[in-house]
Amino acid sequence: MAQLKAFPCSYTLSSPSFQSSRTEQLLHQPSQLLKAARPSSLTKWGSRTSVGARKPQVIKAVLHSETKTAISEMEKGSGLRGKLDKVVLAYSGGLDTSVIVPWLRENYGCEVVCFTADVGQGLKELEGLEAKAKASGASQLVVKDLKEEFVRDYIFPCLQAGAIYERKYLLGTSMARPVIAKAMVDVAKEVGADAVSHGCTGKGNDQVRFELTFFSLNPKLTVVAPWREWDITGREDAIEYAKKHNVPVPVTKKSIYSRDRNLWHLSHEGDILEDPAIEPKKDMYMMSVDPEDAPNQPEYVQIGIESGLPVSVNGKKLSPATLLSELNEIGGKHGIGRIDMVENRLVGMKSRGVYETPGGTILFTAVRELESLTLDRETIQVKDSLALKYAELVYAGRWFDPLRESMDAFMQNITKTTTGSVTLKLYKGSATVTGRESPYSLYRQDISSFESGQIYDQADAAGFIRLYGLPMRVRAMLEQGI
């Protein structure tokens, strides 16, 4: 068995889970669990280089010397498609990425370093990865715990901006891909790789998200996308290729859905969901109970917010990742955050997806409700309009675009007074606000009350209405010949 060595790295990485394509599912065998130390907090979200953070530990699985010797012998010559020295592969341990390892070696005569990001997809997804990588022919497996950075530096900026794609989608996968891709670029530098590779299909959004990040952070890297090159067309072809190259084929039951899970959400695509007229099966959901089966008694939860970002749950201050995990559990048991939508993919086609985002739905609701106290009408309107563009940029994989980074500065400035607390009532799939308060509230009861006050004289409304309605009045006079 490979030996595990913990070593520090010179950067902090973000975190989403990686599942490469529709045919790659949750196919894992129980084995040794790889763990990585939790990174400390950063001072800048999604930055190209992380500042002010301790160096996180990384688990690096180094294979036996005899395995490395065999690999080096094979890689002395060029591959069928050319020659690369070393490739960092985004690796999940499923069928697709397991097959990609020997395919890269065969076609590019290269050493393959597998990389896995822990972005909250669950411990089960990390089991047995070292053994699988070794069996597939990889020289190393690098696993990094990116949960805190993922939430703090990618999720929280989107939350602060109010970014929602096409009215519903809370960008769970979209936020995760740049954090993984950034980590891959850093690992490539660390191990001296000249290329990176992913298992995204040529029909989805993720290929764009990965590669735009690669381009932004290290344009010198060669990008290899097997699904756009090889002759494998589906699961059966992949299994046949694996057997031919002595790659163990996972024997776990294949899910009928293509899923992507991270700390923010769980997405479901494929099978019966490809018909938008068919209701999802009840047993498909994994993060949330059916609202019909949720408790008959409501639960109240209070979210503490500072400068537009959540900091506490029911008065208890928590780290970003821990806070989100707790809200996922609370919201999930009440059936919160289920979304069924048909979205417009970046590549031009429509696709149907079902998303579970219990904690995220609670947080979006809480922040929006607090903003109703702390932001004026014009600011809310401008913020909402920019949020649409912000969501579009994130969905399209343009996380490191200067425009998005500049919009962050705007969002941070206008939400600096969005501080206070919001109480929500969770009941059978709904999250309803029951209370909100802020020391920076623009709401004045003495002004808003129906009782007469000194600041607002109701008689002043007559003049305001005459001036405000003057254009409408002039148009009517013209039409009526007055």
Single out the catalytic residue among 177, 259, 338, 436: 177
Residue with tokens 């993919």: 345
Residue 206 is a catalytic residue: yes
List, in order, residues 6 or more apart from 238 with CB less than 8 Å away.
23, 95, 96, 99, 232
Residue 408 is a catalytic residue: no
Residue 177 is a catalytic residue: yes
Single out the catalytic residue among 14, 96, 153, 421: 96
Residue 288 is a catalytic residue: no
Single out the catalytic residue among 145, 206, 260, 408: 206
Single out the catalytic residue among 21, 139, 258, 421: 258
Would you name the residues annotated as active-site residues? 96, 177, 206, 258
